[in-house]
Chains A and B, each alone.
Chain A
Amino acid sequence: MFRGTWPIFRRELAGYFGTPVAFIFIVIFLVLAGVFTFQIGGFFERGQADLRPFFDFHPWLYLCLIPALAMRLWAEERRSGTMELLMTLPISRAGAALGKFLAAWAFAGLALALTFPVWLTARYLGDPDDGAVLTGYIGSLLLAGGFLAIGACVSAATKSQVIAFIITAVVSLGFLLAGFSPVVEFFSGWAPAAIIETVSSMSFLTRFDAMGKGVIDARDLIFFGSLIGTCLIINVLLLELRD
Chain B
Amino acid sequence: MVATVEANVQATEHAPASGSGGAAHVEVRGLTKRFGSTSGGILAVDGVTLTVRAGEVLGFLGPNGAGKSTTMKMLTGYLAPTAGSAKICGIDVTRDPIGAKSRIGYLPEGAPAYSDMTASGFLSFIASVRGYKGAEKKRRVALAVERTNLGGVLAQPIETLSKGFKRRVGLAQAILHEPDVLIMDEPTDGLDPNQKHEVRNLIRLLAGGEKGSGGGAGRGGRAIILSTHILEEVEAVCTRAVVIAKGKIVADDTPRALAARSRYHNALTLEILVRMEEAGSDASAVAAALREVTGVAAVEGVSVARQSQASSGADARVSCTVIPNAHASIQAEVSRLIRAKGWQVESMRVESGRLDDVFRDLTAS
Query: A interface vs B, CB < 8 Å?
Result: 3-4, 6-8, 10-11, 14-15, 18-19, 80-82, 84-85, 87-92, 240, 242
Contacts and interface: CB of A to CB of B under 8 A. Distances in A.
B117 interface: yes
A15 B159 CA distance: 14
B58 interface: no
A9 to B, nearest CB: 10
A87 B101 CA distance: 9
9 contacts: A6-B128, A7-B128, A8-B129, A19-B116, A85-B106, A88-B104, A90-B99, A90-B130, A91-B129
Contacts of B101: 88-90
| Secondary structure type dominating chain B contacts | loop
B78 A242 contact: yes
B78 A89 contact: no
B347 interface: no
Interface residues of B, number: 29
Contact of A90 (B78, B98, B110): B98
A153 to B, nearest CB: 21
Contact of B78 (A10, A87, A91): A87
Interface in B100-114: 101-102, 104, 106, 108-110, 112-114
Given A4-B129, A89-B101, A92-B98, A242 B79 contact: yes
Contacts of A4: 129
B187 interface: no
Interface in B16-31: none
Interface of B: 73, 76-80, 98-99, 101-102, 104, 106, 108-110, 112-117, 121, 125-126, 128-131, 173
A112 to B, nearest CB: 25
Contact of A88 (B76, B99, B109, B115): B76
A19 B116 CA distance: 8
Contacts of A87: 77-78
A242 B81 CA distance: 13
A168 B73 CA distance: 31
Contacts of B76: 88
Contacts of B115: 80
B74 to A, nearest CB: 11
B112 A80 contact: yes
Contacts of A11: 114, 117, 125
Given A3-B98, A8-B129, 13 more contacts: A11-B114, A11-B117, A15-B114, A18-B116, A80-B112, A82-B114, A84-B78, A84-B108, A85-B112, A87-B78, A88-B77, A88-B101, A92-B98
A19 B114 CA distance: 13
A120 to B, nearest CB: 35
A90 B108 contact: no
With most chain B CB atoms within 10 A of its CB, the pick from A15, A19, A92 is A15
A92 B126 CA distance: 14
Contacts of B114: 11, 15, 80, 82
Nearest to B99: A90
A24 to B, nearest CB: 15
A15 B113 CA distance: 13
Contacts of B78: 84, 87-88, 242
With most chain A CB atoms within 10 A of its CB, the pick from B98, B115, B126 is B98
Nearest to B128: A7
B156 to A, nearest CB: 13
A15 B109 CA distance: 24
Given A18-B117, A84-B78, A89 B112 contact: no
A82 B112 contact: yes
Contacts of B109: 81
B32 to A, nearest CB: 16
Nearest to A19: B116
Nearest to A91: B129
Contact of B125 (A7, A88, A240): A7
Contacts of A90: 98-99, 101-102, 129-131
A1 B102 CA distance: 15
Nearest to B69: A84
A80 B112 CA distance: 7
Contacts of B129: 4, 7-8, 89-91
B103 to A, nearest CB: 9
Nearest to A86: B129
